[in-house]
Amino acid sequence: MPLVSMRQLLDEAAKGRYGVGAFNVNNMEQIQAIMEAARETQSPVIVQASRGARSYSQDKFLYHLMLAAAELYPEIPTVLHLDHGNSVETCKSAIDLGFTSVMMDGSLMPDGKTPSTFEYNVEVTRQVVEMAHAKGVTVEGEIGVLGGIEDGHGAGGTGLEHVTDPDQAVEFVEKTGVDALAIAIGTSHGAYKFTKKPDGSVLKMDRLMDIHKRLPNVHLVMHGSSSVPKDLQDTINQYGGKLKQTWGVPIEEIQLGIKNGVRKINVDTDNRLAITGAIRKVFMETPEKFDPRDYLKPAREAMKKVVAERMTQFGQAGHAGDYSPISMKDMAQAYAGKTATK
């Protein structure tokens, strides 16, 4: 199965009232872990790469690894998505390479740190939508600003400084035509999201529900949605790490979001924790090991376990074979006002 558009996956998820995990990658082992989890659970999947990941892995390596994934796992509908594109040019480079979905994060200026104006966000996102849809590529936008910093991207803070305004969300969708909308409800990038289990004072699920009521046909996106399980933290610390105790987004809150229009859930930190814990365990228990396969295999397996668990919790498990892929050409025709072939 060729790489497919994210719009198709999210449309199908909306019909089935489930969410689809979007898992960040930097290397081959992470891609393998995700695809093995998708096969094990029979899940459609979104594989996403940030600007930092594209630089680290180099675009061509990353893209051809994803082509290999599509070839080796032909039964899995798979999206290659750009996470947090910082400019029209960055999104264009991803589209030209072969990404089937891009995020234009115009909530921040091109430096990836400074909050932008609403007008700037609308303009750059609209430009990307026009360019992407002409090729059948999905576009995710963001209104409001997340907290924290990851891969050098983010405004910092707690995530409560720039919570999404529902009226602006409606106006933003109308003026840009985005396929998916990331909203800020108190979540943050990175491992250190909350200093206690989040409640209504720091995680604004009521704001999410309000936006969904106003935009019932728009696919909502939760960023910074790793759950940061205590057992993954404990494993790292047991084998020499020094993580401070932290809390992520509880699975039950994500599931509440899914019931209220969330169709894409971004997960990165949980997988990083699983990989790091597995590698530390090998180094601590068998310090004589030096073959990278000796620690990358268990690291890959640890990440696969987390991804498979999230796929089941988000409800996407079992839905890989529900539909046939729509070609990017047909998606482009659909965006132009013609009917795509299903």
Question: For residues 326 and 3, is the Cβ–Cβ distance under 8 A?
Answer: no
The CA-atom distances, in angstroms, between 101 and each of 124, 178, 231, 305 are: 16, 11, 33, 26
Q: CB-based contacts of 147: which residues, under 8 Å, 6+ apart?
A: 154, 155, 156, 157, 158, 159, 160, 161, 186, 187, 188, 189, 193, 224
Instruction: State the catalytic residue, choosing from 59, 83, 210, 268.
Output: 83
Structure tokens at 8: 């198709």
Structure tokens at 153: 């991207």
* 294 Cβ contact list (under 8 Å, min separation 6): 282, 286
Contacts of 179 (CB under 8 A, 6+ apart): 6, 7, 10, 138, 139, 140, 219
Does residue 268 carry a catalytic annotation? no
Known catalytic residues are 83
